[in-house]
């Protein structure tokens, strides 16, 4: 319980705190500590969707490999399947959070196309820009 409170305090503080001024632009604004919150949400949502789908499909494949015995109480799947298969929809249905990840990636691609030559602190956008610049050179 104490750790949960400590994390809550730290997250709230770093959400509003600003630091890390740009070395090249000393008069510019400082960057928020948790500026990558949307990026982190996208990563965690994508990971949750991928992992829960992978495990749920794996459990079903293993159960089917046992044939009719997979439905028997001695197999262990009777307890395992209902316990884990709800994870696909708990805390955000995988279809919905996968759409959130796609929306984030599309926004980052639009931003990369709009400012292809400027540097950003966003890892995803920088990867898109690198890809776009490489394809631009190849097309010349």
Give catalytic residue positions.
Answer: 91
CA 93 to chain centre: 14
38 HSE (CA, 13 A, CB side): 16
CA-atom Rg of the chain in angstroms: 22
75 HSE (CA, 13 A, CB side): 17
**Minimal CA–CA distance to 104: which of 128, 120, 87?**
128
CA 123 to chain centre: 13
């Amino acid at each position: 319980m104490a750790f949960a409170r400590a994390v809550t305090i730290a997250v709230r503080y770093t959400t509003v705190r600003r630091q890390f001024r740009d070395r090249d632009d000393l008069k510019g604004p400082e960057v928020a500590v948790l500026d990558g919150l949307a990026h982190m949400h996208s990563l965690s949502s994508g990971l949750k969707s991928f992992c829960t789908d992978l495990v749920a499909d794996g459990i079903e494949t293993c159960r089917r490999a046992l044939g009719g015995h997979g439905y028997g109480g001695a197999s262990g799947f009777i307890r395992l399947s209902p316990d884990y298969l709800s994870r696909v929809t708990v805390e955000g249905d995988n279809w919905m959070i996968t759409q959130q990840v796609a929306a984030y990636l599309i926004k980052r691609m639009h931003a990369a196309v709009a400012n292809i030559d400027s540097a950003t602190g966003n890892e995803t956008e920088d990867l898109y820009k690198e890809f776009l610049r490489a394809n631009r050179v190849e097309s010349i």
